[in-house]
Amino acid sequence: MNYTTQMDAAKKGIITKEMQIVSEKENIDVNLLRDLVANGKVAIPANKNHKSLSAEGVGEGLRTKINVNLGISKDCPNIEPEIEKVKKAIDLKAEAIMDLSSFGKTEEFRKKVVEISPAMIGTVPMYDAVGFYDRELQDITAQEFLDVVEKHAKDGVDFVTIHAGLTKVTCDTFKKNKRLTNIVSRGGSLLFAWMELNNRENPFYEYFDKLLDICEEYDVTLSLGDACRPGSINDSTDASQIEELIILGELTKRAWERNVQVIIEGPGHMPINDIKANMLLQKKLCHGAPFYVLGPIVTDIAPGYDHITSAIGGAIAASCGADFLCYVTPAEHLRLPTLEDMKEGIMATRIAAHSADIAKGIKGAKDWDYQMSEARKNLDWEKMFDLCIDEEKARKFRKESMPKHEDSCTMCGKMCSMRNMNKILDGQDINILRDDNENVTSCNQ
């Protein structure tokens, strides 16, 4: 039986090879997974032209996935450092990579990333349009925006961020409800400018059916972007954000009718006490579609540490229903991240995702922690290193400060609680002050 997209296959009762791969990775019954895809609760972004892909599922009942942003820009147009980041992100087990390139050899870079990456690839075609046509934003036509989307789809991109919810109505709401930080989404601000300069409706909303034609043809998942996401905790959960979310829910239904998979993008900056309500609102208004959040960043005062502010918000968001976390690096708000910044962002986000999976009761999530705790109890350092989320860093720290007694560390030495509890429960003397070669008497004698 033929099918056009993963969702089309699922609705027809077909189990695709991508569903089988995801089922095995997640240890979930493949028939249940197929039903979740059919109902839009899980998306499996898998462009027909992405031949190197190892499929991942995003959504209900699955592990929380993470995304890494990278790409070339006018200030940093060199492809090679970004390719190095792609390879490192894959090594560090990121499930998705978003190419946010906006200048230079964007097509060459995009094709190379698709060629080498088993991780799913996302883009924001709006970013690429100005450089692609080498014309000012105002002069690009609605059809030309769609043509760029189709170009990305042909190149094998698995999901595209499209800010289709920023309509004239949304813009009016924004103008009537002043914000501290206005529209901080790069794609959203570009679209808002285009609409204002041309006095036109958002082309991605006006020609949404044509957009769906492209997504259906290549099986590109539509990541409905949050142009009105808050860029400060002051603007969280305001009228503009909610107005756009309602429209995204309507567009989700239209996409599903065409068998196009959907992911909903969510808030950026948000105080902790707003997070749970926002996760509930998204799931309600967007009919249970997978939710993808940037952070959320829970305080605005920590440039240089926003991988931490983001991980705090991400862990809470995912524990309350978010399915997909976009990483944030220490360089957020400051500059293009370096390779080391990227690693710090990935690790912080992976920790947040795993912490949320424990809270959500994802099958097998706690097993990893159990094994680590068992290795700690047994003072099995090699097992601990093997289980570390960042083995390289853990080994480095240990090597930099080796203890006199190898069954301890330089923090506690022979006062190590694990060491001493093991000994005392085994009927041995704990021997804190004496050298190990001195004669001691068992505490049981």
Which residue ranges make up the annotated binding site for [4Fe-4S] cluster?
409, 412, 416
Which residues are annotated binding-site positions for substrate?
69, 98, 127, 163, 185-187, 226-229, 265, 292
Q: How many CB atoms lie within 10 A of CB 112?
A: 16
User: Exposed, middle or buried, 294 (CB in 10 Å: 0-12/13-18/19+)?
Assistant: buried
Round to whole Å and give the CA distance between 277 and 336: 32
Q: How many CB atoms lie within 10 A of CB 152?
A: 27
Q: How many CB atoms lie within 10 A of CB 303?
A: 12
Round to whole Å and give the CA distance between 70 and 90: 13
The CA-atom distances, in angstroms, between 185 and each of 51, 69, 210, 262 are 31, 14, 24, 19
Round to whole Å and give the CA distance between 172 and 106: 34
Nearest CA to 211 out of 146, 285, 263 is that of 146
Which residues are annotated binding-site positions for Zn(2+)?
269, 333
Single-letter amino acid, residue 223: S
DSSP reduced 3-state for 161 = strand
Single-letter amino acid, residue 125: P
Q: Find all residues with CB under 8 Å of 284, minimum gap 6, and list them.
A: none
Round to whole Å and give the CA distance between 10 and 150: 24
Whether 222 contacts 215, CB under 8 Å: yes
Which residues are annotated binding-site positions?
69, 98, 127, 163, 185-187, 226-229, 265, 269, 292, 333, 409, 412, 416
DSSP reduced 3-state for 416 = coil
Round to whole Å and give the CA distance between 97 and 95: 7
Round to whole Å and give the CA distance between 285 and 139: 35
